[in-house]
Amino acid sequence: MFYKDDRLALFIDGSNLYAAARTLGFDIDYKLLRQEFMRRGKLVRAFYYTALLENEEYSPIRPLVDWLNYNGFAMRTKPAKEYTDSQGRRKVKGNMDIELTVDAMELAPHVDHVVIFSGDGDFKPLVESLQRQGVRVSVVSTIRSQPPMIADELRRQADNFIELDELRDVIGRPPRDPRVASDRPTGEDAPEQPMAEVR
């Protein structure tokens, strides 16, 4: 499905990809991810979407955002909203679907192939629109989790489904021992996306 002359764009739904990788038991190495897709075609842009808790003194995702920003990713962030649900539990809401969709639609005339790292069924209309514009669409998620992390309608609509678990050896790194893990990246080591519950 990938051709060397393809102009490629990556659209990474940060919380969705993090949750899928976490379910499969590995962390994403974003440097390796970018290199892998540069190898598969002509990478035009790699977008990363996440919501940030603005009112926290230290956000655990800030080191990742900074690292990605300095290492070839176009960052799309917005403030996450905190609220308390009916059971009194603290919840965080930070859906980035509209931002991802707008960027993909704007970039569509300039690319041949779009890769969406998300299993969210809300992206089905986006995939249909990109396909009508002549853009091939691959979706990266997993069906190997219980339940599967990808919506069936999204998987059926995509031109190509890439099982995240099959990319483990290419873009993954072994989970770090929490007793020696640092909150901040060292060298080329980008931290993981810590906000799986953000939607």
Is residue 180, in this structure, part of any structural domain at all? no
Decide if 196 is inside a domain: no
pLDDT at 58: 66
Q: Is residue 142 part of a domain?
A: yes
CATH number assigned to the domain comprising residue 71: 3.40.50.1010
Q: Is residue 194 situated within a structural domain?
A: no
Say which residue, 191 or 87, is predicted with more confidence: 87
Would you say residue 107 lies in a domain?
A: yes
Which domain does 128 fall in, by range? 7-82+90-171
Residue 183 lies in a domain: no
In a domain, 110, yes or no: yes
pLDDT in tens, 51-86: 887 766 667 788 899 999 999 999 999 888 877 888
pTM for this prediction: 0.84
**What's the number of domains the chain is made of?**
1
Percentage of the chain modeled with pLDDT above 90: 68
Per-residue 3-state assignment (H helix, E strand, C coil) for the chain: CCCCCCEEEEEEEHHHHHHHHHHHCCEECHHHHHHHHHHHCEEEEEEEEEEECCCCCCCCCHHHHHHHHHCCCEEEEEECEEEECCCCCEEEECCCHHHHHHHHHHHHHHCCEEEEECCCHHHHHHHHHHHHCCCEEEEEECCCCCCCCCCHHHHHHCCEEEEHHHHHHHHEECCCCCCCCCCCCCCCCCCCCCCCCCC
Q: What is the mean pLDDT of residues 176-197?
A: 47
Task: Assess if residue 1 is contained within a domain.
Answer: no
pLDDT digits (tens, 9 = 90+) for 11-35: 999 999 999 999 999 999 999 999 9
